[in-house]
Structure 1
């Protein structure tokens, strides 16, 4: 079973190199200056990677490999996306 914290936000830090997992988030409608709320998590049996379900800046749903992501914070009941430069006292 995979469990994750409700209200978890992540930021994009694209994994470099030719063997980086696909899709590459910065080529798929995501921005490096936005925190994205995690909508779900998927772990296919053929890989040890986890894929986070996120909504990009075009409101498309994508499965993004954990190697491209870094945690930003936790905020219950928050919006799908937040600018990283905003002052959020609710970040945990």
Structure 2
């Protein structure tokens, strides 16, 4: 069973190399400077990877492997995209400054 929090946002940290999962999000309309709301999840039986359902910057719906994604924050908002001040920092670091 897969479950996720309805306020879950993730950001892209794309893996490179010959074993990187496809599709690669930065080649598919996503960017490193945005957090994306998780719309759903899928786990195909032939792999141990989970795929997050996200809407890219063109509002296209994609299945992106969890290995390309990092937790950003739980945010109670109607937005599907959030701008990141610094994509390499986590939400915990941002809240630590508060």
How many angstroms does 1:82 deviate by? 0.6
Q: Tell me, which stretches of 5 or more residues in structure 2 are unaligned?
A: none
In 1, the alpha carbon distance for the partners of 2:81 and 2:50 equals: 21
C-alpha offsets along residues 6-64 of structure 1, whole Å, 9 cap, x if unaligned? 11000000012111000000000000000000000000000000000000000000000
Aligned residue pairs, count? 89
Partner secondary structure for residue 67 of structure 1: helix
TM-score by length of 2: 0.85
How many angstroms does 1:77 deviate by? 3.1
CA contact (8 A) 1:7 1:78 kept: no
Q: Tell me, which stretches of 5 or more residues in structure 1 are unaligned?
A: none
CA RMSD of aligned residues (A): 1.9
Question: Going by fraction, where is helix more abundant, 1 or 2?
Answer: 2
| Over 3 Å off, 4+ runs | none
Which residue number corresponds to residue 49 of structure 2?
49
Partner secondary structure for residue 71 of structure 1: strand
In 1, the alpha carbon distance for the partners of 2:67 and 2:48 equals: 11
Which residue number corresponds to residue 15 of structure 1?
15
Which residue number corresponds to residue 5 of structure 2?
5
